[in-house]
Amino acid sequence: MGKGKKTLSARERKLKEERRQKNRKARIVAKWKRAGVITTIAVLILAVLVGIYALTRTVIQNTGIVLRNRVAMSSDNFEVDAAMLSYYFYETYQNEVAAQTNVLYTGIDSARSLKEQDYTSMITWFDFFMDKTTARVSDILLYAEGAKAANTIL
């Protein structure tokens, strides 16, 4: 009888240990599942925030709000914002390329940024066109000031 009781006791201990191991594994699995859910939620929230940021930035850039609020050049009574300067720059570029009639003659690669292409060893094509643009806009501001001084109303 004593021998059976010891064996039973050993079996009970073995079963108890197995249950304890299963419970421990179940707790570990549950812990990892919670961590996975929390990580997934955090990643989704981060992805949504990045998406909202990218969308907002794109909308702001495409509407030109930033460019219209940044003064690029000014005189005593008039201002040219960055959006207007950008327009004049593009117009100067188009007029210059049209006057050349052959883009290959100028050496401009339309697939690359003008800031990366050298006009001379000292300046880039962007600098060349921006210099022409700022000179033109300076003239426009000068004419506008002269018209205001002469009380010219359009």
Which residues touch 4 (CB under 8 Å, ≥6 apart)?
none
pLDDT digits (tens, 9 = 90+) for 119-138: 888 999 999 999 999 999 99
Helix (H, G, I), strand (E, B) or coil at 71: strand
pLDDT of residue 134: 96
- pTM reported for the whole predicted model: 0.60
pLDDT digits (tens, 9 = 90+) for 42-79: 999 999 999 999 999 888 888 888 888 899 999 999 99
On average, the pLDDT of the chain sits at 87
Contact 145, 78 (CB under 8 A): yes
Is 92 buried (19+), middle (13-18) or exposed (0-12) by CB count in 10 A? Answer: buried
Domain borders along the chain are: 1-63, 71-149
pLDDT digits (tens, 9 = 90+) for 3-52: 555 566 777 888 888 888 888 888 888 888 888 888 899 999 999 999 99
